[in-house]
Structure 1
Amino acid sequence: MHLAHTPAPAWPGWSDAGTLVMPLAAPPPVRPLTLDGLRLQPKRELHVTLIGGRLAERLRASLRDPYLTAAVRTLYEAHDWHFATTGEYRLLRKPARRDDGRFGATHSVIALLTMPAMAAFHHGLGRLLGTQLPLPPPHVTLYVEGRAQGIGVRSPSALRGYAVRAIAPHELDAGAPA
């Protein structure tokens, strides 16, 4: 799977869920993926989450709009959001509320990215909050099981905790039925 880089879009604004995501121009995978006995569905759209739900809540509790949006937008626009795929993929598992309402294991397949702006952006967000923030591992969720939105990976320790295993790139092709 190749994620072609295109320049970051203009300020994308807050999502309906109150998060900040950078949409990617790359199309999502077309077919489901069978991996380790799991049937994973392609993510509906591809993006990099820059501010997840918990961090967005912290920011909103500390800063009020329009200052919050202006400050975050200024930080976003100050950076070059160039990225590259690392060629590393991970199968993740997290206990969470599934789309069917039950609580249980959910899974995602992610592609790890190098994205230098992520560290500077989160450093700036930390300055707004007066604290140091963990750096979310830059990644794109490609496939999901149990929860269409994915599972959220807000820190390196969360990534380590959710990781089931590394996935070789050829497994992504081999596991996608024709």
Structure 2
Amino acid sequence: MTTIAHTSSIVLPVPAECWPPPGAGARLDNLAFDPKPELHVTLVGTCLGRELQATFGATMAARIREARDALDWHFERSGRCLLLRKSCVEHGHVRIAHSVIELIDLPAMAPFQRALGRMLGRQLPVPPPHVTLYTAGCAQGIGVSSPARLRAFAVRSLLPGEPD
């Protein structure tokens, strides 16, 4: 399994042959969405990544690799898509960001977060495994580090065929 470090975050790339990124933009709730050019699952978000780096420095990559390699990272698509919304700062300007995500079944996420929590000596929330398909207002998307944050950002569940 390959993971990629994006600044302080670590992601699991989704191979395009398994799940191709959306080919075109979409409209939903009077908003124009841009497709994500590559699909991934965030395993370690930016804030947690910074904490791990500050705590473990040069040994962080090896520690994470050991925890990651002990697990099976296969996932199943759920077909359950959500529209998310939050305020974000991009290039010094406050914007309203929207994302369309699909929740996935990723059994390895909880044990991986437990392993990271043991390294840090505390319990970590388990991020809801998902793949961001579209964004509007903020190209980076919306970080969803816990079930509580997902509930806070969720606007609504999408109907089959949405976005158009």
Q: Distance in 2 between matches of 1:19 and 1:104?
A: 22
The amino acid of 1:106's aligned partner reads A
- 1:58 maps onto 2:47 in alignment: no
- 1:146 maps onto 2:137 in alignment: yes
- Match runs of 1:41-80 below 5 Å: 41-65=34-58, 67-80=59-72
Can you list the C-alpha shifts for 1:45-66, whole angstroms capped at 9, x where unaligned? 100000010000111121121x
Deviation at 1:126, TM superposition (A): 0.1
**Equivalent residue, structure 2, for 1:91:** 83
Moved beyond 2 Å, runs of 4+ = 12-15
Deviation at 1:87, TM superposition (A): 1.5
TM-score by length of 2: 0.94
Deviation at 1:104, TM superposition (A): 2.0
- Match runs of 1:13-162 below 5 Å: 13-15=4-6, 17-25=7-15, 26-65=19-58, 67-98=59-90, 101-162=92-153
**Equivalent residue, structure 2, for 1:169:** 160
Q: Distance in 1 between matches of 2:20 and 2:140?
A: 16
The amino acid of 1:92's aligned partner reads L
* Identical positions, percent: 47
Contact 1:136 1:156 in 2 (8 A): yes
Deviation at 1:151, TM superposition (A): 1.2
Unaligned ranges ≥5, structure 1: 1-8
Can you list the C-alpha shifts for 1:112-147, whole angstroms capped at 9, x where unaligned? 011000000000000000000000000000000011
Q: Distance in 1 between matches of 2:60 and 2:150?
A: 28
Deviation at 1:13, TM superposition (A): 4.3
Aligned length in residues: 161
**More strand by percentage:** 2
TM-score by length of 1: 0.87
* Aligned alpha-carbon RMSD (Å): 1.2
Unaligned ranges ≥5, structure 2: none
